[in-house]
Structure 1
Amino acid sequence: MVTGATSLSLVRNELFTTIDEAEQSLEQFIVERQNGSLLQQAVVNLQQVRGILKLIELTGAEMLAQEVLQQATNIPAGVGEVWDVQLAALSGALHVLRRYLESVDLHRQEIPELLLPAINDLRLAGGQAALPESLFFSVRLDAPRPPQTPQPAGEGEVSRLRHMYQLGLLGFIREQSLQSSIGLMLRAMKRLKRIFAANSQGRLYWICAAALESHLDGGLIPRKSRKFLFAQVDRELRRALTCADNEPPRSLLKELLYLVALADSHGPLATQVREAFVLQPLPFTDQLLEEEYRRLAGPGQSVMRSLSMAICEELTGLKDSLDLIERGASGGESLQGLYIRLGKLVKTLSMVGLISASNAIGALLPSIAEVSANGKPMELQVLTRLAEALLYVEGVVTHLERGERALRPEKESDSFASQQLAEARIVVLDEAKAGLALARRAITAYIESNGDKMHLANVPISLDAVRGGLWFLEQQRAASLISACGEYIQKRMLESQKMPAEPMLETLADALTSLEYYLEGGAPDGQAHILDLASDSVRALALPVAA
C-alpha cells in the first residue's frame, strides 16, 4: 500500500473538504457558543480527518489532528472567555494543518517537525506539557565515549565551574551577548567532561559541550525549549556535586544530540560526537524550520505580505507622479489626483498601525491641497519634503512583511558630549577585550609549546594597558583582578624556572575568560556576580583579592 506524502493526492479533495467543514463549524461555535451542535459537528469532522491521516500514515499531521480532536472534545457548550486561548489555539492549529498538507501535496516532502509548535501550543493551552524538539528524531544512545584520562579537580573547582556555567546560562536565557554566554558555558563543559571522564556524568558533559559548540557554529535560535534544556544540564551538575555517578536522563542526552545533528557543525567536539553516534545531517536547518513555520502560521504573515506589496506598488506610482510634477509635465488635474491618492494612503497606513508613516504624509496634505486649488506649480521645498516622506514610508512598510516595528529615531536632544563619551567607552572596551583575548591565546601557545616564555613576553604589558582602560571606565574591581592576573603571569610564569601545573593554568584562563565575558556585556552595573566568579579563580591561584 502506498502511504505518506505520495498517497495524499488520492484523498486530497475529501480531506481538505472535511478540514474546511471543521474550520467553519468551529468558527461558528466561537460566535454562537450556546450551540453545542456546531461543536459536535466539528468533532465529527475532526475524527474523520484524523482517520484519513492515520490511514495514509502522515505521522506528524495525524498527531496534530489527534491533539486538535482531543482538545475539541474537552470543550463544553456555552463556554465563556476563559476558553478563548484554547479556542484560538484550536483555530490556529487547524489552519496550520491545512497549510502543511497543502505543502506536502505540492512538494511531496514530509517535515513533521514543522508541526511541533502548533502541537505544543495546543498542549500548553490545555494544561499539558510540551513535547520535545527531538520527538521525530531517532538515535541510539549506547554509543561508547572515546577513552580519556580523568583530570583531578582542585578544591572547589567543580563548584566554580558550575558557577561559570550558570553565568553563561543566565546570559543565554536573557539572550544577552549570546556568543559570549554560550562560550562561557562551553568552557565550563569542556573542563567538566575531563574531570568526570571516568563516570556517567562525563558522558553528559561531553555531549553537552558538543551541543553548545554546535549551537555556536550553526547559529541555532535560542528557543525557550533550548533554554530549558541547558537549565536541565545545570540541575544534573548540581546532583553531581553530591553523587558523581548519577545517571543522566536518556531524554536529556537525546535532546542534546538532536541539536548536534541539526547544526551539522564541523567543530572538533561536534565531529567526535557525530561520528560516535553515527548522526546523519538532517534534511532541514533551524532557520528553515523557523521560516517555514512562520509561513504556515499565516494568515497574519501572508496578509501583511500582500498589504506590504500593495502599499509599495502605490508608493512606486506616487514617486513616478512626483517625478512628472517636478519636471513640469503635469498640471492641476494631476495635483488633485495626487492629493486624493495621498489621502487614501494616509488612511491605509493609519489602519494598519503605522501612525508615524501616516503622520509623515498627512502633515504635507494641506500644502498640496493649497497648491492644487491655486493652480500654481508646487514649490521645490514641498516636493523635497514629500519625496523624503515617501522614502520614509517605504522604509517603514518593509517591516510589515516580517511583523517588525520601525525603529524610533534618535532624540535630537542627545548631547554631543554624551555621544562622544559613549563612543570613547566603546573604544576602550573593545581594546580591553582584544587585550584579554591576546592574553588567552598567548597562554594557550605557552602550554602547547611546553613552557616557551617567548609567547608571554608582551602579555603583562598588554594586561597593564587593559587595567588602565578599566580604571578610566571606573571599573576598579575589574582592573584589580586584571592586575592580579598580570602579576601571576609575570612572577609565576615569566620569572619562575618551573612551569605551573596545568590545573593552575586552566584556572588562570578561567579568570581571564570571566573578565572577558564581563566586558563583552558592556561592563554593566549590577553584574558583580560575574566578577565574583573571576575573583574565585584568582583566589584559587593563591593571589590576594580586593573586596
Structure 2
Amino acid sequence: MVTGATSLSLVRDELFTTMEETEQSLEHFIAERNNGSLLQQAVENLQQVRGTLNLIELAGAEMLAQEVLQQATDIPTGAGEERDGQLTALSNALYVLRRYLENVDAHRQEMPELLLPAINELRQAGGQPPLPESFFFSVRLDHMRPAGVPAAPVAAEAARRLRHMYQVGLLGFIREDNPQAGLKLMLRALARLDSLFADKPAGRLYWVGAAALESQLDGQLLPRKARKQLFSRLDREIKQALAGNGSYEVPRSLLKELLYLVALADSRGPHASAVHEAFGLAPLPFTDHLLDEEYQRLSGPGQGVMRSLSSAIREELAGAKDLLDLIERGTAQADSFGNLHALLGKMAKTLSMVGLSSASNALQVQLPVVGGWSENSPAQADELHRLAEAVLYVESMVASLERGEQRNSRPAPVQPGDEGEAFAAHQLVEARIVVIDEAQGGLALAKRAITSYLESGGDRMHLANVPISLQAVRGGMWFLNQERAAKLIGLCADYIQKQMIDVPQMPSEQMLETLADALSSLEYYLEAGAVLRPETTPSVLDLAEESVRALGLSVAA
C-alpha cells in the first residue's frame, strides 16, 4: 500500500497529463458523437492510465480506471441520448479518479474505499451489479463463537413474533422515518433470537447480525442504500434459518458484509465487542463519516451547503422581522419600505431554489402589498398581520430545513393567506411532540426498572412506581386519541402490578422478556413517529398486541 502511494510521484506528471487529455477527448466526443477518433483517443489514453496504475500498484485506482475503460469501450460512435447516463458516469468517474490521485500524491495515503461509489455508479450505468461495501476489507470467516450458556427451548410462535419485530424495525429503517428507533427494534429482535438459538448453527447469524446492528446504531453509520439492502437480505436469511430446523449455515458473503460494519463502527457494545474479539477485528483507519466527507470533497460540493444556506436565510428573516417591527411602530426610515420589499423578494427566490415553493409563494403574494407601502401610504394593520403570519410560516419551514428534516416532516405547504392557520397547526404538532417525549420517558423508566428487578433477583421495590408511570403514559395516549396504544400500555401496567408486585413469585424469564418485547414495540411506536403518522407503521401495534397476548392477557374490546 505504501509502495503504491510512494511510487506515484515517479510517474505523476506523465500520468496527470494523460488523464487531462483523456477528459478533454471524452468531453469533445460528448459534443461531437460522430467523431470516433475522439473516443478512440480517450480509450487509448485510458489503457495507458490503467497500465501505469497497475505498474505502481494502486489497486483501487486501477480498478476504477479499468471500469472506466470497459464502459468507454462499450460506447459506440454516434451514441444517442440512451448513452447519456453512461457518458455522465464516465465523466464523473474520471474527475473523481484525478482528484483521488491528487490526494494520494499530496498525503501519501491510499483509501480505495473512497472510489467504491464512483465504481458502482459506473457499474450501474453499464447494467452490472454493484460491488459490496466490504470489497476492500479482509477478514477470516472461519472463527466460531465461544461456547456459552445453552439456549432456552424455542417456541415457534415466539420466533415468528421476533422476526415480525425485526421486519417492523426494518421498515422504519428503510423509510428513514426514524432510523435509530428502527435499528433499536431490529437489535432487540436479533438479540432475543440469539438467546433462543445460541447453541444452534443459526445462532451465528443472529449473533453477528446483532453485532452489526449494534454497530450501525452506536457508530451512527449512515443509512446508505447498500445497508438497507444488507439488512433486508438479513431478513430473508432469518426466514431461511427459522425454516432450516438446525441445518442452516450463514452465507460467507453476508457474514463478511456484517463484519465490515462491526469493524467500521468500532462499537464497544456487548454484542459488537464479543464479535470483535472472536474474529480478531482491528479498527479501520477511517470512519463512515470521514469516508462520506472525503468522497463529497472528491466529487463536488459538501453536504453542509444546504445547512449553511438555511442559516443565511434565517439571518435575512431576522432582518425582515426587525424592519417589520419598525414599520408597525411607525418609526421606520424612508428606505425601510424599499429594503423590506427587496429582502422579501430575495428570500422568495432563494426559497424557491431550495425546493420550499410553498414558503416562496407565501412571500411572493406579499410583495405587491409591501411594494405599495411608503411614508405617505403606511401599512394597514390587517396587512401587517398577514405579512407577520407569512414570515412566521416561512421561519418554521426554514427551521425544518436547517434541522435536516425529511420533506414529509416539515410543516405542510399552504395556500397564500392561510399561513396563520398553518402556523397554529404546527404549534399543535409541537405540543403533541412534548406529550410523546414524556410518554417515551415513562416507557424508558419502566424498562430500566424491570431490568433492575431482574438483576436484583426479584426485588419488588424497583417496580414501585412503574404502574403509576405507565398509567400516566396511558393517559397521554388517550389525550392523543391513541386508544389502542393506551389500552396496551394499561395492560402492561396491570401485568406488572398483578404478576410482579402483588405476588411473591417472579414470572419466568421468558415472560419477562415477552413483557420487554411489548414495551419495546410500544416505545418504537412513539420513537418512530407513528403517533403523528400512524399510517407509516401499521403493524407496530399488532406486534405489541401479539406480545401482550403471549403474556396471557385479553386484548378484546
TM-score (norm 2): 0.81
Q: 1:358 to 1:171 in 2, by over 3 A?
A: closer
Shift of the alpha carbon at 1:301?
Answer: 5.6
1:159 corresponding residue in structure 2: 160
> Is the Cα–Cα contact under 8 Å of residues 148 and 194 in structure 1 kept in the other structure?
no
1:484 corresponding residue in structure 2: 491
Q: Any residues of structure 2 matched to 1:352-371 within 5 Å, and which?
A: none
Q: 1:350 to 1:418 in 2, by over 3 A?
A: closer
User: Which stretch shifts more, 495-504 or 102-111?
Assistant: 495-504
Shift of the alpha carbon at 1:267?
Answer: 1.3
- Secondary structure in structure 2 of the residue aligned to 1:133: coil
Q: Structure 2 CA distance, aligned partners of 1:301 and 1:427?
A: 34
Shift of the alpha carbon at 1:358?
Answer: 13
Q: Any residues of structure 2 matched to 1:232-381 within 5 Å, and which?
A: 232-243=233-244, 244-298=246-300
Q: Structure 2 CA distance, aligned partners of 1:173 and 1:279?
A: 28
> Is the Cα–Cα contact under 8 Å of residues 510 and 534 in structure 1 kept in the other structure?
yes
Q: Deviations over 1:92-128 (max 9, x none)?
A: 0000000000000001100000000000000011000
1:542 corresponding residue in structure 2: 552
Give the gaps of 5 or more residues in structure 2: 317-338, 379-386
Amino acid at match of 1:544: S
Q: 1:2 to 1:288 in 2, by over 3 A?
A: closer
User: Which stretch shifts more, 420-429 or 503-512?
Assistant: 420-429
Q: Deviations over 1:286-338 (max 9, x none)?
A: 1111011011112x569x89x99xx99xx9xxxxxxxxxxxxxxxxxxxxxx9
Amino acid at match of 1:250: R
1:428 corresponding residue in structure 2: 435
Q: Structure 2 CA distance, aligned partners of 1:415 and 1:71?
A: 51
Q: Deviations over 1:49-99 (max 9, x none)?
A: 000000000000000000000111111111111111011001100000000
Q: 1:420 to 1:109 in 2, by over 3 A?
A: closer
2:187 corresponding residue in structure 1: 186
1:40 corresponding residue in structure 2: 40
Q: Any residues of structure 2 matched to 1:439-450 within 5 Å, and which?
A: 439-450=446-457
Q: Any residues of structure 2 matched to 1:362-511 within 5 Å, and which?
A: 412-414=419-421, 418-419=425-426, 421-511=428-518
> Are 1:517 and 2:506 an aligned pair?
no
Q: 1:2 to 1:96 in 2, by over 3 A?
A: closer
Q: Structure 1 CA distance, aligned partners of 2:98 and 2:201?
A: 45
> Is the Cα–Cα contact under 8 Å of residues 515 and 534 in structure 1 kept in the other structure?
yes
Amino acid at match of 1:525: P
Q: 1:414 to 1:84 in 2, by over 3 A?
A: same
Shift of the alpha carbon at 1:232?
Answer: 1.1
- Secondary structure in structure 2 of the residue aligned to 1:145: coil
Q: 1:421 to 1:24 in 2, by over 3 A?
A: closer
Amino acid at match of 2:230: L
Shift of the alpha carbon at 1:230?
Answer: 0.7
Amino acid at match of 1:207: V
- Secondary structure in structure 2 of the residue aligned to 1:144: coil
Q: Structure 2 CA distance, aligned partners of 1:112 and 1:208?
A: 26
Q: Structure 2 CA distance, aligned partners of 1:245 and 1:19?
A: 53
- Secondary structure in structure 2 of the residue aligned to 1:413: helix
Shift of the alpha carbon at 1:438?
Answer: 1.2
2:96 corresponding residue in structure 1: 96
Shift of the alpha carbon at 1:185?
Answer: 0.5
Q: Structure 1 CA distance, aligned partners of 2:125 and 2:210?
A: 34
- Among the aligned pairs, what percent are the same residue? 62
- Secondary structure in structure 1 of the residue aligned to 2:134: helix
> Is the Cα–Cα contact under 8 Å of residues 54 and 62 in structure 1 kept in the other structure?
yes
> Are 1:146 and 2:146 an aligned pair?
yes
How many residue pairs get matched? 516
> Is the Cα–Cα contact under 8 Å of residues 440 and 523 in structure 2 kept in the other structure?
yes
Amino acid at match of 1:71: Q
Q: Structure 1 segments of 4 or more deviating over 6 A?
A: 348-361, 407-411
CA RMSD of aligned residues (A): 4.3
Shift of the alpha carbon at 1:421?
Answer: 3.6
> Is the Cα–Cα contact under 8 Å of residues 477 and 546 in structure 1 kept in the other structure?
no
Q: Any residues of structure 2 matched to 1:48-127 within 5 Å, and which?
A: 48-127=48-127
Q: 1:131 to 1:471 in 2, by over 3 A?
A: same
* Alignment equivalent of 1:529, drawn from 539, 547, 551: 539
TM-score (norm 1): 0.82
Q: 1:259 to 1:49 in 2, by over 3 A?
A: same
Amino acid at match of 1:242: A
2:383 corresponding residue in structure 1: none
Q: Structure 2 CA distance, aligned partners of 1:180 and 1:360?
A: 37
Q: 1:45 to 1:513 in 2, by over 3 A?
A: same
> Is the Cα–Cα contact under 8 Å of residues 514 and 534 in structure 1 kept in the other structure?
yes
Q: Structure 1 CA distance, aligned partners of 2:351 and 2:551?
A: 63
Give the gaps of 5 or more residues in structure 1: 316-337, 380-384
Q: Deviations over 1:194-224 (max 9, x none)?
A: 1111122111111111111111111110000
Q: Structure 2 CA distance, aligned partners of 1:357 and 1:491?
A: 58
Q: 1:246 to 1:25 in 2, by over 3 A?
A: same
